[in-house]
Structure 1
């Protein structure tokens, strides 16, 4: 499918992994912890070990607030690796979201995109966590839908039903484009409900999936860019035409 970026009036975004560097944020806590016990452990290895546990906690306990998801996922990662996790260490990850850095291009790209589109957040986080991250992004989003608001976490279809309902409310039905890094959390379930999508492939220079679970099924986003800046450049060019 070939799409024209100028045909859309709204963009919905995943936040963590797409706009905020959640792998850097998680690795800043889990990496030093792991190397206390095994100096050979790399950040990538611990992120891969962690990835499935966070997704499992979110699926099993969909109304759990994200800081507690992080704490439990850390404990499960420790159990899987045979390494102890103290309550203080679990708390360090649970309270770390506000310190997760934005990707360097996110704020500037969002400011450019806002000239053309309504901007919507669809994020696997709680309201407080997103509010802290949003201060780094410097953009006032038109709509914010968090896991706390919806009562479940992506890739649950309910999250995308909520997004489509909001698009209908604001007159963007059929003119909404979803922008995300995670094939597992966003592109697979988004395609299942017919959403056109843009893959921000932040890991384009790295093999493997990192902190994001393997999507397990084939999925084809409509467009792919290595960064938010590259998307913003393409959007500017589309509207200039």
Structure 2
């Protein structure tokens, strides 16, 4: 029987340009403010996810936007608070995604998404990735947001994934690299934004997905050694 190997990916920030999507959504309401408010929004989103782990992601985005707008003294109308949830299905996929996920799957890896979003959102997003995905674990399914370990443990329990045939690939240091390290899941950090934090937390670090196939294979070999 063939050994099943899993490559799990975060979605937003790793496969989908999260920063671009957030900034453009904000610009629809407050032209020219998007790039300025991204970091403030990011901090508020983490806080809301921690405070209300059972809240749907659409509502998390709305509350984080409310707080970011309040801090910036911008007048956010109540009927505009869901602009990010309304546009997320159209956020751009990074150009290195389709070909490299397709190649990874052709190399014998199954692909799963461990994502901090709702079922309907990831369903809309999957159709734009340009490569098949075998399964998904969402925040809505597990009732919490990464860096809580529930995504990882649900995936492990559901598919019998073991550390010698599982590699996690993600951009977020906080949401993905830290919990994956805590759980001793082999991991590849996609450091798209040249984050200066300690790279030794990961088994390998890449600036994008262009070398992800050979890197995942190498990390997996080392895990089996």
Deviation at 1:61, TM superposition (A): 1.3
The answer to whether the 8 Å contact 2:116/2:139 transfers is yes
User: Which residue in the other structure is 1:224 paired with?
Assistant: 205
Give the TM-score normalised by structure 1: 0.81
2:72 matches 1:81: yes
Of structures 1 and 2, the one scoring higher in RCO (CA 8 A, sep 6+) is 1
The answer to whether the 8 Å contact 1:70/1:94 transfers is yes
User: Which residue in the other structure is 1:59 paired with?
Assistant: 50
The answer to whether the 8 Å contact 1:167/1:176 transfers is no
Aligned equivalents of 1:19, 1:93: Cα separation in 2: 17
Count of aligned residue pairs for this structure pair: 217
User: What RMSD over aligned residues (CA atoms) do the two structures have, in Å?
Assistant: 2.6
> Which segments of 5 or more consecutive residues in structure 1 lack a partner in the other structure?
1-6, 209-214
Structure 1 pair 181–237 and aligned structure 2 pair: CA distance change class (3 A): closer
Aligned equivalents of 1:25, 1:131: Cα separation in 2: 17
Determine which of 148, 160, 172 is the counterpart of 1:156.
148
CA shift digits 1:57-113 (9 cap, x unpaired): 111111211111111110011122222211232121221210111001111111001
User: Which residue in the other structure is 1:93 paired with?
Assistant: 84
Aligned equivalents of 2:97, 2:114: Cα separation in 1: 16
User: Which residue in the other structure is 2:223 paired with?
Assistant: none
Give the TM-score normalised by structure 2: 0.86
Deviation at 1:232, TM superposition (A): 3.0
